[in-house]
Amino acid sequence: MHMKKLVVAAAVAMMTSGGAVAEKSAPDFSAFANMGGSYRISESGDIFLYPAPQGMSDAGEPSGTAGRPMLDVLLGSGVGDVAAVVTRYYGGVKLGRGGLVRAYGGAVKFALDGLPLTERVELTELAVEIGYPAVSPLKNALGRFEAVVVDEDYGTRVSLRIRLPEEHARAFRETIAALTDGAGRVEDG
């Protein structure tokens, strides 16, 4: 006997989103037999809090047969900021506890294998004030730092708001100092 199931896996941005995915999915599939859900949220990039904010629900299935196996797959995947909902709409009774565990965990594994992944990068904004001669060299250097100009104002001096990955901020500050012979100002912004 095979269990027919529908799997929803989605990226989430905040802890409440894990629950929101399950709540949002439940009404859409209310005619189906049962659901299980789990989520894992990271605080920054690939550095997870210990214990990482996470949750699970068997949602009507026998205790430990849906949410826990799903969460175990999420925890073992190395993926953060993700929620999964599996909706069972056929089978289950004849599968037994072990079959349910394999079916729910396997469904999440299947969904994760097809989920497009992106790296989460912590960004920072810097307020930069420089003289006109440094503008072109600075703009030419932006690509090295994966930086973009968010805002610019041309007055007596040039004021720029620059967004870049946090990991490049120190080197960017050093570049501003070198381009302006120490006359440029950089502040967190």
pLDDT at 24 over 70: no
Q: Are residues 132 and 61 in the same domain?
A: no
Q: Is the pTM of this model over 0.85?
A: no
Whichever domain contains 8, its CATH number is 3.30.230.30
Q: Are residues 16 and 81 in the same domain?
A: yes
Alpha carbons 163 and 4: distance in angstroms, whole number: 47
Among candidate residues 66, 95, 114, the one where a domain is terminated: 114
The mean predicted confidence, pLDDT, of the chain is 77
pLDDT in tens, 96-149: 888 888 888 888 888 888 888 777 788 999 999 999 999 999 999 999 999 999
Range of the domain at 68: 4-114
Q: Are residues 77 and 20 in the same domain?
A: yes
Alpha carbons 184 and 11: distance in angstroms, whole number: 40
Q: Are residues 63 and 16 in the same domain?
A: yes
Whichever domain contains 178, its CATH number is 3.30.70.240
What is the enclosing helix (H) or strand (E) of 127?
Answer: strand 123-130
